[in-house]
Structure 1
């Protein structure tokens, strides 16, 4: 059996708001309840399972999504339409820019809980 990522848990102060944010910005299906979680499914059947932890300190995590060039344009349009801050790097040192690593495009933005979200059109290390 090939090992594949099936799901990961995403801590959120408000799981409904955070799951909806991700699904809307990325253009994914609406979140679906599963036990204590709200799940958002990606096209490769990996789910991000949002768990509400309203009183806990949330440690920022990084979630990267490989997208097509057309999807990048659509998602980036939703990022700018919402007036979200974005960066070319995960450390927020290059504000208002996208990167062109490996001949693709990438951009970072934060979700409502401070998780660093990234969209990229080429896997890192795949270019010249």
Structure 2
């Protein structure tokens, strides 16, 4: 039985094996919390919106780690409350997004329990470079 080549081992995609490992690690770390949206805000703009009800700005951190945008939330200890019903989740979380080369974070805002992270992709210039072919010497 022939196996299908994976993204990192495809013969036309050289040097992308690290990207494949990054995507796999990101997919494994996701448990669905907190919920999020990704929208296109322009030709080269994006916005990630995470529902972070119950978190203050001090409870949240956004970092760039290699090619990943990582959002972490750490809920504060609320003391000795006695809950009769607790339907609003406020557990700690880590959500990671893999960013392509040229995608930069342009800002982050929080409003009405939603954390908005704005991204902008720079349009790369087309580069054409000729490679000289030399005669091999044995």
TM-score, normalization by structure 2: 0.24
Which structure has the greater CA radius of gyration? 2
Q: Name whichever structure is richer in strand by fraction.
A: 2
TM-score, normalization by structure 1: 0.26
Q: Name whichever structure is richer in helix by fraction.
A: 1
